[in-house]
Amino acid sequence: MTEDEIRKEEQIIERSKKDPQAFGELYEKYFDRIYNYILRQTDDEELAGDLCSQTFVNALNNISRYELRGFPFSSWLYKIAGNEVNKHYRKNKGTKIFSIEELKVRELIEQNTDDWDEELINQLIRFMNELPTEMIQVLELRFFEDKDFKEIAFILDMTESGAKMRTYRALDKLRTNFNLKVKYNG
């Protein structure tokens, strides 16, 4: 985000604290990203819609307590969304699901190598779906949501070094199993 965009968003947030109607701009700006983030964790469009709605209701209800902490407003929404998904799975005693977007995996691979065939890409997607939830979370935020480690740490309630280590371990597993040359950018 540019300085001008950050300043404009801060003004919208401040207006939203006094006038809930102003929150609609933030909702419009971030709805698709938050919905897709939740959808990847549920693989259920109706549930994703419900949890996304709850995320924005919680954000609106707590906007007066929002403080700028050096992260984009979207980080706060991702954090609330992650909490809503976790609450849903705890309440329903379900196993968390991650629906890896095949298109995003293909983009990631194509950026870094030319010699992958269809079968190897499908194997990678199956392998990623078997990774532990905490590894998938950091990979999703780092590569599919383009978040930096500081922001990942904020969203997942961990230290920045913990986010880096978890990402490194997940990438190491992928490299070991697929000789994948993904840039770590640590």
pLDDT of residue 117: 65
For tokens 């950018």, the residue is 185
Mean pLDDT of successive 10-residue stretches along the chain, which has 186 residues: 82 93 95 92 90 97 89 92 90 67 59 63 73 82 87 93 92 73 48
Rounded distance between C-alpha atoms, residue 149 and residue 92, angstroms: 30
Q: Which of 116, 122, 158 is nearest to 137 (CA)?
A: 158
What do you get for the CA distance between the two ends of the chain, in Å?
Answer: 21
- Domains, the chain, in order of start with CATH, read 3-92 (1.10.1740.10), 102-178 (1.10.10.10)
pLDDT of residue 28: 96
pLDDT of residue 178: 67
pLDDT of residue 114: 57
Q: Which of 55, 69, 70, 71 is nearest to 23 (CA)?
A: 55
Rounded distance between C-alpha atoms, residue 80 and residue 64, angstroms: 15
- Interaxial angle between packed helices 118-130 and 160-178, expressed in degrees from 0 to 180 and rounded to the nearest 10: 140
